[in-house]
Every structure is written in C-alpha cells, then in structure tokens.
Structure 1
Amino acid sequence: MRWMSRTAVNALLAVSALYTLLPLTWLLFASTKSLSDLYATPGFAFGEFNLFANVEAVAREGGGVFFRWYLNSLLYAGVGAAVSSLITVACGYAFDKYQWLGKEKLFGAVLLGVLVPTTATAVPLYLLASKIGVVNTFWSVFVPTLVHPFGVYLARVLSAGYVPREVLEAARSDGAGEIRTFASVAMPMLLPAYVTIFLFQFTAIWNNFFLPLVMLNDQNLYPLSLGLFAWEKQGHAFPEFHSLVITGSLLSVVPLLVVFLLLQRFWKAGMTAGSVK
C-alpha cells in the first residue's frame, strides 16, 4: 500500500510537470522555425533551424521597440517588485510585532484585498489615475504594483517564524530605535521572506496584462505582455507577426527563469519558514 501511494504521488507529479513543460517545449520548437515551417511541420518537431534569424527579425521590427518593451517590463517588474516587497515585509512585520487598537480589523481588511481579483480593480484605478492626470504614464502602471495584500499576509506569517521577539528586545535594550531595529536586526532575518514575496510579485507584475491595457496608449510605455498582444493583433493581416510573437514570447520567459534559478534557495527557505518548531 505504501509503495502504491508513493507511485501514485510520483505519477501525479510527472503528469503535472509534463502539463507545465509542454507549452514551453512547444514554444522552443516553434521559435526555431521559419514562417512556412511553422504551419507545415508538427508542433513538437524542428524544421529548418531559424532561431537566430527570428531573433534578428524581432530586434528589427518597429525600430527595436521589442527591447524597449523588455526594458519597460524589467522596470515595472524588477523595481516594482523590489519596492513592493520592502513595503510588504515592513507591513507584515508591523502587524506581527506591534499592538495597536483595531489591528486585527485592519488586517482583516487587508485579507479582503486578497479576495478581490486584480482585473476588478483596473477600471477604478483608471478612474483614479484619470482624476490626478497620470493616465498613459509610467506611474499609472508602476504605483498600483506596490500594493500586495497577499504579500502582507505572507510577511506576517514569515515574520512570526523568523524573528524572535527576544532578539528585538535585546536590540532595543542596547539603544536601537524601531527603524534601526527593523533595518539592522529584523530585515536580515527576513531576507528569505523578502525574496519569497519578491518572486511572487515579480511574476505577477511581469505577467500583468489588463492594467497596462487599460492605462496605456503610448506604445513606448508598453510592457512585453501588451506589446506582444499588439503584434498578435497585426498577425491577422500580416502572418509574419505570428513568428515574431512566438519568438518574443520565448525571450520573455528568460528573466523569469533567471530570477527563479538565482533566488530559488531563498524561496525554498521562505516557504518552509515556521514549519518546524
């Protein structure tokens, strides 16, 4: 029975891994094909190897606008996730370590934010941005990414698992103020928590589509998701854009892979925080 249980779990994991990797595998095969091979060869088969020519075509299209979109996505996701994670960790730490009137009610309001889908907030955010005159600017997409309700909840849980109150009391006894205690004592302990939240937020912002769609008209401000969508719409009239979208999609996966590979050890540590007492 134990052997059958282990086999069933491994089989389920294998199916899950296959389901996850199949789209990426197809993307890899398709990115190496010319436009004619894309429709004339099986999906999981190489045609004439054309990857470098496809990348060159992506780089040339629109005067290199793809790499402008790439930089925009790195700014939205990289800087946004870094700042958002710092704010989120500080909020979670405050909810965990401090006491004030109405704390749990406020935390309940934060948890309500987890239940609201981001697509439902796009139109209200657009109306607010319109009121203050920042529609179709970098800030209209960047500022909303700084709010991460689920990250606050996760940061509170990880703060309880990583930061002993006794260490904070010792720092205060040595004369450290609250900001210095957080920055010099708590934050190094919360580094795995910070990286865990950073990875979640980086992925969410990198894949964000609906908010930029609502906020942006200037093509030079597009993130990759919206830029590739604009190319895909042109594919109805100009089939060569299908190859550009496929190759661009493959290139867009690279930062996610790099970030996860570089930070996975912190992510594993963060996800297991507090699991062993």
Structure 2
Amino acid sequence: MSQQTTSVPVSISGEKAATQARSPISRQFSGSSVGAMTFLIICTLYFLIPFFWLVVSATKNTGDLFNTFGLWFSPSFNLWSNLQQLFTYSDGLYVRWLLNTLLYAGVGSIVGTFLAAMAGYALAKYNFHGRDLIFAMILGAILIPATALALPLYLMMSGVGLTNTIWSVLLPSLVSPFGVYLSRIYVASSVPDELLEAARIDGAGEYRTFLTVAMRLMAPALVTILLFQFVAIWNNYFLPLIMLSNQNLFPISVGLETWNITTGGANNFLYP
C-alpha cells in the first residue's frame, strides 16, 4: 500500500514538469496560429465583400444605389422587379446571351483542351523534323496579345464568310498556345515512355495508347487547361465585339456592355 501511495505524486510531478517544459512552445504555436487565422479571415473578407456588395446592389433602384450606403440594404427592396426586368428585356435576350456564353465557353474549352492535349503529347513523345521550331512558335504565340490578333482573325473570317456567325467566335477559341505548352511540359515529365511502350507491346495502337494511357495520366494538367480556357472564353470581349453584329449571337460580356450603352447605365441588375 505504501508503494502505491508514493508513486502517484511522482507521476503527477512528472506531468507538471512536462507541461511546464512544453508551455513556451505551446504559447508560441498558439500565437502563430492566431496570427495566421487573423490573416486568413482578413483575406476571406477581402474576397467576400465584393460579392456581398453585388447582392446588396441588386436589391436597389438607381437612386438608392447612389444615395445609400453601398454595403447595406436600402429601405426599398427592388430585387424581384430588377430580376423581372432583366429576364424580360427584349423577350428574354439576356437568357439568350447567357446560353451563347455557355456554348462558346463550354464547347471551346472542352474541344480546345483535347486539341491541346494531343498537340502537347505529340511534341513531347514523337521525334520529327521541325518539332523544336513548332514548339518555339507556340511559345512565341503565348507572348502575342489577343488584341493584336483580332484584326487578322477578322479579315480571315470575313474572307471565308464566317463573320457574324457562332463559328467566328468558336473557332478561334479552340486554339490555346498556353494549353499546348502546359501539355507538352506535363507529358514530358509525368508520362513515362516505358508505360507507353508496354501498351504498344500489348497491341494498343497510337490512338488507343493516347486515349487510355496518356490522357489518364494527364488529368491534372487537363483540368488546369480546361479551367483556364473556360474562364478566358467567358471573359472574352474584344473578339466577339468585332466579329458579331447580331444581338442574338452576343455572349454575355458584349451583350451587357451594349445594353448598358443603350440604356445609358440607368439600370442596375444582378448578373454574372
């Protein structure tokens, strides 16, 4: 019994000593955690406040938009009337613009990603004459601003009679020099030649090897290319502006700008 009673204080004192030894480290870790959490909260607010302002502004009319505090609601709630005016404008033209944008961005990003994957795979895994020159030209194309290519593209589309059609916006969107570059770099580093050779030995052709082996390994790069391409096409303004004159073919970027010019900026809506 005496041995049991003396062992308990020893264990308690040992725990106290360990706690005292860890306390400076714990305080330091706690302080760094609080600082990191504070920084993350500030960053979160920085990105969320514009969205909150967008929602608040959509509930106001034009007068309240300029005469009330921007980050809070006005006494009059006009969200439903604003949305009704938005979706009934010119027999639902806004919905048509939104569907056009989804068509351009969706088809352009999917097909453009697939074409970039094929081009990058060919440049990385096949040796042919002029391969390095082609890749250098692709790198140079990345450096050329899109606005510098708009006029040549317009003249080209005008020459073949494709201006003011969906093809004048969709076809240029299928080309992604950055996507080809990223695919080539990723395939060269992450798709082993031994695995491709094993697929060929098992009887797979070149197309099957690419589709069933290489593309599965390229999934992270393809997702990145798809997202970049989708966002770029969605935000594209200058190309459809010079290619299209029919309002029914406008994407949402051009449509909203022309609408704002037509109405003199007098309307306030919630839009993407």
For Structure 1 versus Structure 2, the TM-score category normalised by the shorter chain is 0.7 to 0.9
SS at match of 1:42: coil
Name the CA distance, whole Å, in 2 between partners of 1:220 and 1:153: 35
| 2:73 aligned to which of 40, 46, 49 | 46
For 2:97 and 2:61, the matched residues in 1 are separated by: 24
Matched, 1:170 2:188: no
How many pairs were matched up? 243
1:247 is paired with a residue whose SS is: coil
- Distance of aligned partners of 1:51 and 1:123 in 2 relative to their CA distance in 1, 3 Å threshold: same
Gaps of 5+ in 2: 1-27
1:33 maps to what in 2? 60
CA distance in structure 1 between the partners assigned to 2:137 and 2:39 by the alignment: 37
Identical columns (%): 47
What does residue 201 of structure 1 align with?
A: 229
> Could you tell me how far apart the structure 2 residues matched to 1:52 and 1:192 are?
41
Q: SS of 1:63's equivalent?
A: coil
What is the rounded CA distance, in whole Å, between the counterparts of 2:178 and 2:77 in structure 1? 44
Deviations, residues 212-256 of structure 1 (Å, cap 9, x unaligned): 0010000000000000001110232x72xx31xx312xxx2xxxx
Give the distance between the partners of 1:60 and 1:119, measured in 2 at CA.
33
RMSD of equivalent CA atoms: 2.3
Alignment partner, residue 146 of structure 1: 174
1:164-195 Cα deviation digits (max 9, x unpaired): 21110100001111111001111122222211
Are positions 1:247 and 2:259 aligned together? no
Give, in whole Å, the separation in 1 of the partners of 2:91 and 2:165. 21
- TM-score norm. by structure 1 comes to 0.80
CA distance in 2, matches of 1:123, 1:230: 21
Letter in 1 for 2:251: P
* 1:13 positional shift: 6.5
Structure 1 segment 190-229 matched on structure 2, within 5 A: 190-229=218-257
Residues 115-134 of structure 1: matches in 2 within 5 Å? Answer: 115-134=143-162
Partner of 1:101: 129
Q: Return the index of the structure with the highest Cα Rg.
A: 2
What is the aligned partner in structure 2 of residue 135 from structure 1? 163
For 1:15 and 1:156, locate their aligned partners in 2 and report how far apart those are by CA, in whole Å: 38
Which blocks of at least 5 consecutive residues in structure 1 are unaligned? 253-277
1:235 aligns with 2:263: yes
The one-letter code matched in structure 1 to 2:171 is V
1:55 aligns with 2:83: yes
Determine the C-alpha separation between the residues in 2 that align with 1:46 and 1:123. 45
> After superposition, where does 1:1-80 map in structure 2 within 5 Å?
18-47=45-74, 48-80=76-108
What letter matches 1:231 in structure 2?
Answer: W
TM-score, scaled to structure 2? 0.82
CA distance in 1, matches of 2:105, 2:210: 25
